[in-house]
Amino acid sequence: MKIVLAQLNYHIGNFESNQSKIIESIHKAKAQGADLVVFSELSIAGYPPRDFLEFDDFVARCQIAVYQIAQHCRGIAAIVGAPSLNTGDKGKRLFNTAWLLSEGKISAQVHKTLLPTYDIFDEYRYFEPNTAFNIIEFAGKRIALTICEDLWNVDDIPMYSVNPMDELVPQHPDLIINIAASPFHYNQAKIREEVLRKNALRYQLPIYYVNHVGAQTELLFDGGSLAMNSKGEITHRLQYFEEDTLLIDTDVIAIALKAGSPSKMALIHDALVMGIRNYFFKLGFKKAVLGLSGGIDSALTLVLAVSALGKENVDVILMPSQYSSDHSITDAQDLVNNLGIKSSLIPIQSIYHSFENALQSLFDGLPFSLAEENIQARIRGVLLMAYCNKFGHILLNTSNKSEAAVGYGTLYGDMNGGISVLGDVYKTEVFELARYINQKQLIIPTNTITKPPSAELRPDQKDSDSLPEYAELDAILFAYIEQFKGPEEIIELGFKRETVNRVLKMVNISEHKRYQTPPILRISPKAFGMGRRMPIVAKYLS
């Protein structure tokens, strides 16, 4: 049997575009002599459709698209993902379904059994789990058709009480097809491949795996669809972060690919560039703006944005205050020159003095404090948002994960933005990513990378005045946020009790700030946002 793996970038609720892409791929696959073309999980709706699934109209449009696509499946079959109605008298009203389309009709449906409800997933909110297990017979092959999580219950301590493949194996399948929407983080490709390998070895079956690619707001999908033989060896792999298709003859013995995958920084870089590009394109926006301070966060954000949107579509505004150092202004201008883009300059000192004068009667006799520092950040936020409103641009937020974690940012100031580019990138990783970008060509000025980080909101200010050194801070944050370690466990790693308690308190009392931040592009196993749900008015560690 000849199978085409079709790894496409879908747009949630854009039925015309999704349907058009699927139909075009079906015709191309047929021209290649394929028997079957396979698309990813919920390909017709786009993943995750979330509460759109509460609307009868949305579900009806998905089903109409399925039947229209089926009309193009003559002389070739297709597997597509879409919700289907639960016609039983119990349970949720929908299934997450893989539809086999052939000879102009629906030939079979397979519902997803294991519905993840952790981290960014909330599928049991919408779908009823499958309880009937049947092999699909097609083109002389017995296919075990599964959907994403259905292959993930292979750990030594299973998360679910049922394993779909254990139910299907007694029916003697020849191969496994898995359609998926597996979101990216920098370790996910290795984890995913190991999960598939465990299945191949456990059931002694080849696997044909199709993943979603593209960005859906904060969720990034890396693709990396693949074929794996019964020995657990990858024989074919599609591109990361790009649409791709591949024709595979299941009856031809393929040579295992050599091991090797992109570096962590390469993955993060490509994921963020794709995330920015898709966010703008899918929202119908073209141009971005950001405030360039001369610091590393805004510099890195600018470089990523230019890679994603093109230098003609990124506007830069420099807004120095009386506390901005000369080298920050020159570093920012050097970056602008290196990228070949234009910038605008709006000094904010006089604007700040206007605020100072307006507040004089209220602040009279009180010393300079955080209030005055934040006024500067909010002036910049107002100017940037005014520019966005006037010209219809989207503001890029430049805060990093370390700052977001401990609340080192100003609400309605530097925390403004339509999308947070670096909100899941720790400060130490920001430096790594900047050095990665500079490997081939010096783009980000060396001084921007080597100088001590500073918000420059008061004389001679450095981040280290308010925070532990970033290497220490990020290690504590990683242990707490990604590894779920409590204070005693973190102290046992070698950190001072006073520092650990102080950092964890800063994290937990800053939850109200993170509730008001823009969507954060997710590149780690545990990002702020929809995958990390914490109460605001809680006492724990605060």
Tell me, what's the pLDDT at 365?
Answer: 86
Contact between 499 and 475 (Cβ < 8 Å): no
- Cα separation, 334 vs 292, whole angstroms: 11
Task: Give the range of the structural domain holding residue 112, as residue numbers without chain letter.
Answer: 2-253
Model pLDDT, residue 506? 97
Q: Residue 37 has which token pair?
A: 């073309």
User: Are 61 and 169 found together in one domain?
Assistant: yes
CB distance 43 to 81 below 8 Å: yes
pLDDT reported for residue 326: 75
> Is 169 a domain residue?
yes
Number of alpha carbons in the 13 Å side-chain half-sphere of residue 242: 8
Q: Are residues 355 and 407 in the same domain?
A: yes
Is the domain of 245 the same as that of 271?
no
What pLDDT score does 376 carry?
95
Residue 157 lies in a domain: yes
- What's the number of domains the chain is made of? 2
Structure confidence at residue 31 (pLDDT):
98
Interval 502-513: pLDDT, tens: 999 999 999 999
CATH assignment of the domain containing 454 = 3.40.50.620
Residue-level pLDDT at 406: 97
Instruction: Tell me how far apart the alpha carbons of residues 458 and 475 are, in angstroms, rounded to a whole number.
Output: 28
**Which pLDDT value is given to residue 453?**
83
pLDDT given for residue 422 in this prediction: 98
Give the residue from 410, 445, 463 where a domain finishes.
463
Q: Could you tell me if residue 248 is inside a domain?
A: yes
Q: Which of 198, 226, 253 is the last residue of a domain?
A: 253
Same domain, 45 and 92: yes
Residue 393 sits in the same domain as residue 249: no
pTM of the model: 0.96
Could you say which residues of the chain have pLDDT below 70? none
Please identify every residue annotated as catalytic: 41, 112, 148
Q: Among residues 526, 420, 477, which one has the least CA distance to residue 186? A: 526
> Is 520 within the bounds of a domain?
no
CA 48/CA 32 separation, integer angstroms: 31
* 389 and 246 both lie in a single domain: no
Sheet holding 343-345, edge to edge: 343-345, 314-318, 288-291, 394-397, 419-420
* Cβ count near 58 (within 10 Å): 17
Domain end among 191, 225, 253: 253
> What does the DSSP 8-state code read for residue 292?
-
315 in a domain, yes or no?
yes
- Structure confidence by residue, pLDDT tens digits, 475-497: 999 999 999 999 999 999 999 99
Q: What is the pLDDT of residue 449?
A: 94
On whether residue 537 sits in a domain, the answer given is no
Q: Which one, of 455, 336, 476, lies nearest residue 398 by Cα?
A: 455
pLDDT of residue 271: 98
> 155 with 297, same domain?
no
Residue type, position 128, single letter: E
Length of the chain: 542
Residues 245 and 359 in one domain: no
